[in-house]
Amino acid sequence: MPDLTTGVRYIKGVGEQKAKSLEKLGIHTLRDLIAYFPRAYEDRRTVKKIRELEDGESACVEAMVADPPVSQRVRGSRAELVKVRAVDGSGSLYVTFFNQPYMKSSLQAGEAYIFFGKAEASGRRRMMVNPLVEREGARALTGRIVPVYPLTAGVSQLLLSRAVAQGLDACADILPDPLPEEIRREHQLCSTDYAYRQIHFPGGDEELEVARRRLAFEELFLLAIGLKKLRGRREEFTCQPFAHTDISDFYAALPFPLTDAQRRTIGEILADLAGGRPMNRLVQGDVGSGKTMVAAAAMVCAVRNGRQAALMAPTEILAEQHCRGLTPLLEKLGISCALLTGAMPAKARRAVLAEVESGGAQVVIGTHALISADVRYRDLGLVVTDEQHRFGVAQRSALSAKGERPHLLVMSATPIPRTLALIIYGDLDVSIIDQLPPGRQRIRTACRSGEGRTRIYRFMDQEIAAGGQAYVICSMVEENDAVPDDRKAVTAYASMLQEQIFPHLRVACVHGRMKPKEKDAVMTAFSAGEIHILVSTTVVEVGVDVPNANLMVIEDADRFGLSQLHQLRGRVGRGSRQSYCILISDNRSEEAQARLKIMVQTGDGFQIAEEDLRLRGPGDFFGRRQHGLPALKVADLSCNMALLKEAQQAAAGLLERDPDLEAHPITAQRVEELFQSSGGAMN
């Protein structure tokens, strides 16, 4: 009898080779297989006559292949076409297959097939390109809602859906349910067995919704339990309170007065440090709100108490930026700083390591290098991580493990609405810096359609001639099932700009496939003003500060989340130059226009996040995974605020009744697994 741990080789049609391919998708066991959820669905319930097909519509037609298929080579390329005509009494359908030469022999004239695909209609002619084809007799997928899975080489949709179907038959009804019966009843959630079957092969829209609701609830419920337990565990710890929290000389040494929000946040931090429990605090503040100084205040306090402080940044550039900014200030206060990054030559590195170990370096600033095995601190009392969403829970705790229960401060520039912060940062206390230092310029934001590009380019040209610099962001194009590749989009766009529009300027690009070193090199050149226009996807490093850059042009702006647009826009407006953000979008839908209008109207990240939440629901916040939490699979797509609250309440209720989950071992185990799988996996 197969069980959940049985390997996928059990499935008919999965041999050694296919099993290897499935492994690449993280599918090893039957359990993994049935927990591999579709990323989308195709509704193949509409079967139409050829003549009824409308332009752009996805539908099935039943038709007979009229003539033997013919194959052609596309001149000047290696692509091969197979063309075939199919008829159903109402008209002819002209079908073209690209790069599927086998179609020539698998389609027989005189036989009936079902073609599913997007129709093109022009006049009376009806066409389909690369439709999916099923033999009329087989009909496994027609007339149903069909799952669409993320794929990898060697694994087709058909293989996966057949394998999943077998997997479900083998073990859907022995799946243990992590939701206690009473909670399931109270919140009207379907059984696991039903949920798993319907999420793969929904009988209809309602059934799918019921399944999703249950699975999303389950994820949020387990997440809430895990976070509550983390928080509970922390409250049991005690540590030596920091005795000296007077840092008035720090305030006096600053070149500017702190904002009220900065002061309030520092007050909250100092209270934590003196409280006798390890601090675990998140500081959320919009880009430019001055989080670094808040971190500096905490570090000064740690040093004054005879302890070391470490500040970890996600990239070398950021670490160096912090070091350059903080060292003069801290040295004025008699505090010694050291920089530790992966790129340092061995000799310099050894010297720094010695300083860190002896305690000669009181503040250590660096990248992941701070958590390498050979780094020993004399007495690490405070750990600060900057742009925390870039680090997983695991990396945070690896740095903490270098000290004896050090205080932890995490800083994030991603505004999260208060309503969500509670769950997303369930294991942290939250301070919010909701105020920018005075005198900041507002970034002028405009929304334009693609037709305005010529004028936009001309404007860029003027601004650059006047000494500015520009970012151009293009969105990733997801082609069918392939993992999105930003390299192509970015390099093509950059060379178009360079060759056709701005031959007299220097255009460069960064993308996600570049090595960190290469990326840093380009960013450094941009920083130094050697590059005028930087084309990239959203990999433009969060937190990077190029004050001279004053133009942000975002292509296909409607494809980004509002908070993401806000982050991108935050790359400009950092210097004295008037800055501009131009959102290009050809999406005329009311929703898209409403969202972009918010960007034009406000520069307040929290307000934008609230609006985003209102318009799109919380799924999007989870979806973007900028919070170092376990990846959610279903809640990403279908979570709403009400469900989130329900799940949170249910979790709180259960922990009240059974704090150690002794009576709920399945729940306890799933929570454990969820948090284990997130270890270090973020970003």
630 near ligand ADP (CB under 6 A): no
Per-residue tokens: 150: 């993320």
Q: How far is the CB of 543 from ligand ADP (least distance, A)?
A: 6
Q: How far is the CB of 569 from ligand ADP (least distance, A)?
A: 13
Determine the Cα–Cα distance for residues 114 and 342; give it in Å rounded to an integer.
Answer: 57
Determine the Cα–Cα distance for residues 651 and 183; give it in Å rounded to an integer.
Answer: 9
Q: For strand 444-448 and strand 580-584, is the pairing parallel, antiparallel, or unpaired?
A: parallel
30 near ligand ADP (CB under 6 A): no
Question: With CB cut-offs between 5 and 8 Å by kind, which of Mg ion, ligand ADP, none does residue 359 bind?
Answer: none
Strands (E), 108-208: 112-122, 125-129, 132-135, 145-148
Window contacting ligand ADP (CB under 6 A); options: 193-201, 205-213, 284-292, 524-532: 284-292
Q: Report which of 516, 455, 634, 611 is spatially closest to residue 37, judged by C-alpha positions.
A: 634
237 near ligand ADP (CB under 6 A): no
Q: For strand 380-385 and strand 407-412, is the pairing parallel, antiparallel, or unpaired?
A: parallel
Among 287, 423, 533, 584, binds ligand ADP (CB under 6 A): 287
DSSP notation for 245-267 = ---HHHHHHSSSPPPHHHHHHHH
Q: Partners of 407 in the beta sheet?
A: 382
412 near ligand ADP (CB under 6 A): no
What ranges in 617-664 are assigned the alpha helix state H?
619-623, 635-638, 641-657
Query: 226 vs 543, which CB is nearer to ligand ADP?
Result: 543
Among 290, 605, 618, 630, binds ligand ADP (CB under 6 A): 290
Window contacting ligand ADP (CB under 6 A); options: 31-39, 112-120, 283-291, 458-466: 283-291
408 near ligand ADP (CB under 6 A): no
What region does 512 belong to: left with phi over 0, alpha with psi -120 to 50, or beta? alpha
Query: 292 vs 626, which CB is nearer to ligand ADP?
Result: 292
400 near ligand ADP (CB under 6 A): no
Residues 498-537 touching ligand ADP, rule: CB under 6 A, are none
Window contacting ligand ADP (CB under 6 A); options: 26-34, 72-80, 255-263, 365-373: 255-263
Among 342, 437, 512, 653, binds ligand ADP (CB under 6 A): 437
Q: What is the DSSP letter of 64?
A: E
Determine the Cα–Cα distance for residues 516 and 487; give it in Å rounded to an integer.
Answer: 14
Determine the Cα–Cα distance for residues 314 and 667; give it in Å rounded to an integer.
Answer: 34
Q: Are 441 and 448 in contact (CB under 8 A)?
A: no
Determine the Cα–Cα distance for residues 190 and 212; give it in Å rounded to an integer.
Answer: 10
Window contacting ligand ADP (CB under 6 A); options: 271-279, 289-297, 422-430, 657-665: 289-297
Determine the Cα–Cα distance for residues 149 and 153; give it in Å rounded to an integer.
Answer: 13
Query: 270 vs 413, which CB is nearer to ligand ADP?
Result: 413
293 near ligand ADP (CB under 6 A): yes
288 near ligand ADP (CB under 6 A): yes
289 near ligand ADP (CB under 6 A): yes
Query: 403 vs 543, which CB is nearer to Mg ion?
Result: 543
Window contacting ligand ADP (CB under 6 A); options: 190-198, 286-294, 359-367, 423-431: 286-294
303 near ligand ADP (CB under 6 A): no
Please name the amino acid found at residue 274: A
Determine the Cα–Cα distance for residues 581 and 599; give it in Å rounded to an integer.
Answer: 10
- Applying CB under 5 A, the residues found at the interface with Mg ion are 543
Judged by the rule CB under 6 A, the positions of this chain that interact with ligand ADP are 256, 258-259, 262, 285, 287-293, 413, 437
